[in-house]
Structure 1
Amino acid sequence: MDSSFSLKPVRPADQAAVRRSNLALVLRHLRDAGPRSRAAIAADTGLNKGTVSSLVSELVERGLAREGERERAGAVGRPGTIVELDGRGVGGIGVEINVDYLTALALDLTGTVLFEQRVALDVQALPVAKVLDAGAELTARALRECRRLGVVPAGVTVGIPALVDVTSGTVAFAPNLHWTDVPVVRGITERLTRRLGPPSFPIRTANDANLGALGEYAMGSVAGTADLVYLTGEIGVGGGVISGGRLLGGAEGFSGEVGHIQVDPGGRVCGCGRRGCWETLVGLAGMLRLAASPADPVHDPSLDLEQRLDMIRRRAQLKDKRTLDALAQVGTGLGVGAAVLVNVFNPRVVLLGGYFAQLGPYLLGPMMTELEARVIAPRIGGCRVELSWLGFSAAARGGAHVALQAVFDDPALVPVQAERDSG
């Protein structure tokens, strides 16, 4: 055997990879199982006690875990110190660019909201550069707040209602924004660099509905539901599908464009250029067109979206006929399209987000009527329809979750406290 083929360079790399993998295993276990003694962590994970002790010490040094109280009396053997997830010094930032608003939200590793802001913006009417400027400024505000709190950013994820090339960070096509081949990650990175210096963390972009589905799966009202269809109603309609606990991204990552299912071949022209797409019937623009005349303030994009929806809700409460008729028509259309998805994916839950959740009580009746008539499986295949609690923050929360997931996958991304202080 040729002696030049030494194993020495390979072995440390393998050992380092194994240690990083074990660090991630322990950190995820603390997240999922809650506070544990070192002995319990060893028993649960199959790692030996000495290894667990070393891994926990490193997680504590990185600010990702902390030691708490001793085990309660009655435990077998000497009571051990309880270890729990910390992560208050690590944050993930999610940003959403939508047709008429921008949102930024920062979470720490425990899921605590550190920063949240939404601003009204008529994105369709602005040049791409102006929108990216506004998105970078809002992101910078979130980063400044993290810095003020002593939180190290793990990453930024930008959600956009678009076909997104995740690898290159480019929006391939966003019909409702009128964007084609926009290098979002490069644009945001350059603008953040001018404001705060070069970022030391990754910046990503993804489809907003897919991020919304991840946000709901991680921390929403039906968190942990392994088979879930998430529908978000904005100017367009987006969808994210969780199947067997995994997001269905598609071969090229272009899944989620459920709003462009054709439900009326002779219908209105959609922003994508085709006729009769589902979102022309049930998207926010379609609902407002049915509910109010063009001069009505509910069409004013300079008003915050929730203000505009409050106007619709108040009119519905006052039994305004045009409003109630519009909502009933949208609910029916929602059921028509959702039935296709239920027949294909057989989810446990169809979760309504965006404006669908805000006006859900007026949409659910006609929607359920259509589902019961159109879904082939008995009792709608065991599916139920729920309203999101996260509202318009779901995509930004999902983006923050994606940024933080990188830490759960590799805790060594977070520097030890001494390195942070010296930096």
Structure 2
Amino acid sequence: MTVHPSPVLRSLASAQPADQAAVRRSNLALVLRHLGARGSRSRAGIAADTGLNKATVSSLVAELVDRGLVREGEPHRAGAVGRPGKDVALDGRCVGGIGVEVNVDYLTAVVLDLTSTVLFEQRVALDVPSLPPEDVLDAVAGLTSRAIRECERRDVLPVGVTVAIPALVDVAAGVVAFAPNLRWRDVPVVRGLADRLTGPLAEHPMPIRVANDANLAALGEHAMGGVAGTADLVHLTGGMGVGAGVISGGRLLGGAEGFSGEVGHIQLDPAGHECGCGRRGCWETLVGMAGMLRLAADADDPVSDPALGLDQRLDMIRCRAETGDRRTLDALERVGAGLGVGAAILINFVNPRAVVLGGYFACLGPYLLGPMRAELRARVIAPDIGGCRVELSTLGFAAASRGGANAALEAVFDDPAIVPIRSAARVSATGSG
């Protein structure tokens, strides 16, 4: 699988005179990112693509092999003459990035290695809005600890934790400024989680970060979803609320303060239902899961019970749709049309190549796509919907946690030397830069 390292949460080092060790670290990162973006390459190919000389590439590859970050293939002959060559490919099974998602009615944790292989994944039901933030952070710390223990069991080095939350997030401060659907304000997530993970962090020092779930979901789709590598895409989260992560030119659009993507609070009906943000008629009151359930079922219906698992509730809705329940089908048609109304605004504004429907939108996509596309054809100004296609996420509810895990792995792409050498056999690997 080709991995597309994401630019999210990458810290930019201050400009300083570079010594030999710094130059080598930079070159290690260059080679590792190149293999992540381009896939398996020969040493000669890496040298030609990066501008590094062949001797330097050989030294760098040897060190990356010793750190367990790349592997060499079987020897082969590139032509009729010359020594057999070996292709080099990304490995990284020895390192793990941890992504955690906090949402209205569940928590998720996932561990990915550098090739995006899932090493651990667990989702637990939790009625987050009914609990104090401190209790939720206790549960998050417990789930994160289980992910760290699984890394230890597999002899995998955890290199970071990224927490995805449906909220306005001050990424630099590690604080959730406002999460209307969780009923959180000014919650110091990073500090709170670090305080609860003192033991695991003492064993495995690593950064903890928090970011908006829609932005991380977009990065997850861009890195490993069905539209992986698409340079211009919009990912729409489908949960109790609605958010959008926008990738433009291969980069996440975060905004001046990192607060972009709050499309669920575009007001479409000023006289509509009250939103968790305190306003009326926001887009998410029409198409968020809470809005869909309000249309499809009464308040005392089991599908409206947050104590039930999310998959179970969605299975009930799907089963009713499959058996032709009129109320369910009408509700899904209205939600699909509402999705088209809001998505048309985004397509007219950013002209993406793809709009990806995530979360519950992906689960119930077959019932939403028809009315959504009809609205898009009627409302998008550019011909043929501006060349945009609508796709159902292949990651579903896992997109944000996977994006978080990929973001955590950025630390390795930034500086491969944070991963210790697993074999002392090649002392010469640290020789030339």
Question: Which of 305, 310, 324 lines up with 1:305 in the alignment?
Answer: 310
Residue equivalent to 1:91: 96
1:137 equivalenced with 2:139 (yes/no): no
Question: Which of 326, 329, 354 lines up with 1:324 in the alignment?
Answer: 329
Cα deviation, residue 74, structure 1: 3.1
Which string of whole-angstrom CA distances, capped at 9 and with x for unpartnered residues, describes residues 114-139 of structure 1?
A: 00000000001011111000011001
Query: What is the aligned-residue RMSD (CA, Å)?
Result: 1.6
SS in 2 for 1:364: helix
Cα deviation, residue 68, structure 1: 2.7
Residue equivalent to 1:7: none
Cα deviation, residue 34, structure 1: 2.4
CA–CA distance in structure 2, aligned partners of residues 330 and 82 of structure 1: 50
Residue equivalent to 2:370: 365
Q: Are the structure 2 counterparts of residues 199 and 167 from structure 1 closer, same or farther at C-alpha, using a change threshold of 3 Å?
A: farther
Question: Which of 41, 44, 64 lines up with 1:36 in the alignment?
Answer: 41
1:219 equivalenced with 2:221 (yes/no): no
CA–CA distance in structure 2, aligned partners of residues 322 and 160 of structure 1: 32
Indicate conservation of the 8 Å contact 2:107/2:126, yes or no.
Answer: yes
Residue equivalent to 2:294: 289
Residue equivalent to 1:185: 190
Residue equivalent to 1:351: 356
Residue equivalent to 1:163: 168
Cα deviation, residue 316, structure 1: 0.3
Indicate conservation of the 8 Å contact 1:68/1:83, yes or no.
Answer: yes
Runs of 5+ consecutive residues of structure 2 not aligned to the other structure? 1-14, 425-433
Indicate conservation of the 8 Å contact 1:27/1:408, yes or no.
Answer: yes
CA–CA distance in structure 1, aligned partners of residues 311 and 394 of structure 2: 14
SS in 2 for 1:350: strand
Q: Are the structure 2 counterparts of residues 60 and 75 from structure 1 closer, same or farther at C-alpha, using a change threshold of 3 Å?
A: farther
CA–CA distance in structure 1, aligned partners of residues 161 and 402 of structure 2: 11
Question: Which of 246, 253, 260 lines up with 2:251 in the alignment?
Answer: 246
Task: Identify which range, 199-208 or 392-401, moves more after superposition.
Answer: 199-208
Tell me the amino acid that sits aligned with residue 288 of structure 1: L
CA–CA distance in structure 2, aligned partners of residues 36 and 370 of structure 1: 45
Which string of whole-angstrom CA distances, capped at 9 and with x for unpartnered residues, describes residues 147-197 of structure 1?
A: 100000110000000000000100000000010000000111111115664
Identity %: 75
1:55 equivalenced with 2:56 (yes/no): no
Cα deviation, residue 336, structure 1: 0.7
CA–CA distance in structure 2, aligned partners of residues 196 and 242 of structure 1: 32
Q: Are the structure 2 counterparts of residues 229 and 75 from structure 1 closer, same or farther at C-alpha, using a change threshold of 3 Å?
A: farther
Residue equivalent to 1:79: 84
Q: Are the structure 2 counterparts of residues 418 and 192 from structure 1 closer, same or farther at C-alpha, using a change threshold of 3 Å?
A: farther
Tell me the amino acid that sits aligned with residue 49 of structure 1: K
SS in 2 for 1:180: strand
Indicate conservation of the 8 Å contact 1:230/1:352, yes or no.
Answer: yes
Question: Which of 105, 112, 122 lines up with 2:110 in the alignment?
Answer: 105
- Paired residue total: 410
Task: Identify which range, 31-40 or 176-185, moves more after superposition.
Answer: 31-40
Cα deviation, residue 72, structure 1: 3.6
CA–CA distance in structure 1, aligned partners of residues 267 and 334 of structure 2: 17
SS in 2 for 1:266: coil
SS in 2 for 1:20: helix
Cα deviation, residue 38, structure 1: 2.1
Indicate conservation of the 8 Å contact 2:78/2:85, yes or no.
Answer: no
Cα deviation, residue 293, structure 1: 0.7
Indicate conservation of the 8 Å contact 1:37/1:71, yes or no.
Answer: no
Question: Which of 149, 152, 157 lines up with 1:152 in the alignment?
Answer: 157
Tell me the amino acid that sits aligned with residue 361 of structure 2: F
Residue equivalent to 2:410: 405
Cα deviation, residue 303, structure 1: 1.4
1:122 equivalenced with 2:122 (yes/no): no
CA–CA distance in structure 1, aligned partners of residues 22 and 229 of structure 2: 29
Structure with bigger RCO (C-alpha 8 Å, 6+ apart): 2
1:279 equivalenced with 2:247 (yes/no): no
SS in 2 for 1:237: coil
Cα deviation, residue 91, structure 1: 0.4
Tell me the amino acid that sits aligned with residue 264 of structure 1: D
CA–CA distance in structure 1, aligned partners of residues 368 and 260 of structure 2: 25
Cα deviation, residue 13, structure 1: 3.8
Residue equivalent to 2:344: 339
Q: Are the structure 2 counterparts of residues 143 and 74 from structure 1 closer, same or farther at C-alpha, using a change threshold of 3 Å?
A: same
Cα deviation, residue 75, structure 1: 5.3
CA–CA distance in structure 2, aligned partners of residues 258 and 392 of structure 1: 18
1:235 equivalenced with 2:240 (yes/no): yes
Which string of whole-angstrom CA distances, capped at 9 and with x for unpartnered residues, describes residues 324-382 of structure 1?
A: 01001111111111111011001111110000000011011111111111111111111
Task: Identify which range, 198-207 or 179-188, moves more after superposition.
Answer: 198-207
Runs of 5+ consecutive residues of structure 1 not aligned to the other structure? 1-9
1:176 equivalenced with 2:184 (yes/no): no
Counting only pairs closer than 5 Å after superposition, residues 196-211 of structure 1 correspond to structure 2 as 197=202, 199-211=204-216
Tell me the amino acid that sits aligned with residue 269 of structure 1: E
Q: Are the structure 2 counterparts of residues 11 and 31 from structure 1 closer, same or farther at C-alpha, using a change threshold of 3 Å?
A: closer
SS in 2 for 1:168: coil
Question: Which of 406, 409, 417 lines up with 2:422 in the alignment?
Answer: 417
